[in-house]
Amino acid sequence: MNLGELAGEVCKKIFPILEEKFAGNHTSKIAICTLSSIDLLKEISQSNMMEKIAIVGRLLSENKGIDELIRFVNYNPGLNTIIVCGKEVTGHRTGHALFCLHKYGTDQNNRIINSTSPDPVLTVSKKEIIQFQNQVKLIDKIGEMHLPNITSLIQ
């Protein structure tokens, strides 16, 4: 286990966050990623917006989290849009890493090209990354915390 993984496990024990994702309308083609904004995640999950989106979830890491997001999207071929909003993860810049992955892919070491995150190394295959890049459009609303502004994007 590397230092980043160890720190992640320690954080899970000290600061347990139970809410990771909430399912909505399974026929929707839209997902929302709130990055580190747990309060925004809860607010969306308790709103009528859930009738219009497939899922809302958080993204806290530039490696395992993005791997999981890619697998989820690829397993759900009906998804075609992800709205990325909320507060960026301090130090990890997961939103930035996600947009770099979508635009540039990974290098020969499976490191996200142009990412400034500390450990943007993925375990998913190049084929899975290409499917993700081709399947979804990312909407950059990083920093947006106001629910009506996010809701207006899906109207």
Tokens, residue 71? 């697998």
The per-residue pLDDT string of the chain (155 residues; one tens digit each, 9 = 90 and over) reads 544 454 445 444 444 445 588 999 999 999 999 999 999 999 999 999 999 999 999 999 999 999 999 999 999 999 999 999 999 988 899 999 999 999 999 999 999 999 999 999 999 999 999 999 999 999 999 999 999 999 999 97
Can you give the pLDDT at residue 90? 87
**What is the predicted pLDDT for the residue at 19?**
56
> For residue 112, what are the β-bridge partners?
106
For 88-104, the pLDDT digits (tens) are 988 899 999 999 999 99
C-alpha 113/C-alpha 100 separation (Å) is 6
- Residue 147 in contact with residue 91, Cβ under 8 Å? no
Q: Strand ranges (DSSP E) for 1-155?
A: 21-23, 30-33, 55-57, 81-86, 137-142
